[in-house]
Amino acid sequence: MLQASVYELFAWTCFCMDIRITVLALLLLLGGMSSLSSPQAPLLEKVFRYMDLHQDEFVQRLREWVAIESDSVQPVPRLRQELFRMMALAAEELRGLGASVSLVGSGSQQLPDGQTLPIPPIILAELGDEPEKPTVCFYGHLDVQPAAQANGWLTDPYTLTEVDGKLYGRGATDNKGPVLAWMNAVGTFRALEEDLPVNIKFILEGMEEAGSVALKELVAREKDGFFSSVDCIVISDNLWVSQRRPALIYGTRGNSYFMVEVRCRDQDFHSGTFGGILHEPMADLVALLGSLTDSSGRILIPGIYDHVAPVTEEERDMYSAIELDLEEYRNSSQVKTFLFDTKEEILMHLWRYPSLSIHGIEGAFDEPGTKTVIPGRVTGKFSIRLVPHMNLSVVEKQVKQHLQYIFAQRNSSNQMAVSMVLGLHPWIANIKDPQYLAAERAIKTVFGTEPDMIRDGSTIPIAKTFQDIIQKSVVMLPLGAVDDGEHSQNEKINRRNYIEGSKLVAAFFLEMVQLQEVAGTSP
Mean pLDDT of 141-165: 97
Same domain, 117 and 173: yes
Query: Looking at per-residue confidence, does 22 or 276 come out higher?
Result: 276
Same domain, 116 and 201: yes
Domain count, the chain: 2
- Asked whether residue 375 is assigned to any structural domain, the reply reads yes
- Among 287-296, 299-308, 333-342, where is mean pLDDT lowest? 333-342
Mean pLDDT of 144-164: 97
| Distance, CA of 468 to CA of 233 (rounded, Å) | 12
Cα 231-20-11 angle, rounded to 5 deg? 170
Tell me the pLDDT band of 111, cut-offs 50, 70 and 90: confident
Q: Is the pLDDT reported for residue 331 higher than 90?
A: no
User: Of 391, 424, 457, at which residue does a domain stop?
Assistant: 424
Mean pLDDT of 256-263: 97
Mean pLDDT of 320-335: 85
- Give the pLDDT score at 503: 98
- Give the pLDDT score at 37: 55
- Give the pLDDT score at 36: 57
Supply the Cα-derived Rg of the chain in whole angstroms. 25
Same domain, 219 and 283: no
The overall average pLDDT reported for the chain is 90
Structure confidence by residue, pLDDT tens digits, 69-107: 999 999 999 999 999 999 999 999 999 999 999 999 988
Q: Is the pLDDT reported for residue 31 higher than 60?
A: no
| Distance, CA of 521 to CA of 523 (rounded, Å) | 6
- Give the pLDDT score at 304: 97
- Asked whether residue 230 is assigned to any structural domain, the reply reads yes
- Asked whether residue 328 is assigned to any structural domain, the reply reads no
Tell me the pLDDT band of 2, cut-offs 50, 70 and 90: very low
| Residues in the annotated binding site | 141, 174, 209, 237, 487
CATH code where residue 261 lies: 3.30.70.360
Same domain, 403 and 465: no
Structure confidence by residue, pLDDT tens digits, 498-518: 999 999 999 999 999 988 776
Query: Known catalytic residues?
Result: 143, 208
Same domain, 171 and 224: yes
Percent of the chain with pLDDT over 90: 80
Tell me the pLDDT band of 35, cut-offs 50, 70 and 90: low
Report yes or no on whether pTM surpasses 0.95: no
- Asked whether residue 268 is assigned to any structural domain, the reply reads yes
- Among 327-336, 392-401, 435-444, where is mean pLDDT lowest? 327-336
- Give the pLDDT score at 39: 62
Same domain, 379 and 460: no
Structure confidence by residue, pLDDT tens digits, 340-376: 999 999 999 999 999 999 999 999 998 899 999 999 9
Tell me the pLDDT band of 47, cut-offs 50, 70 and 90: very high
Same domain, 199 and 213: yes
Question: What single string gives the DSSP state of each residue in 401-466?
Answer: HHHHHHHHHTT-SSEEEEEEEEEE--EE--TTSHHHHHHHHHHHHHHSSPPEEEEESS--HHHHHH
| Residues in the annotated binding site for Mn(2+) | 141, 174, 209, 237, 487
CATH code where residue 49 lies: 3.40.630.10
Same domain, 196 and 225: yes
Same domain, 366 and 486: no
- Asked whether residue 329 is assigned to any structural domain, the reply reads no
Domain coverage including residue 377 = 254-308+353-424
Query: Looking at per-residue confidence, does 519 or 222 come out higher?
Result: 222
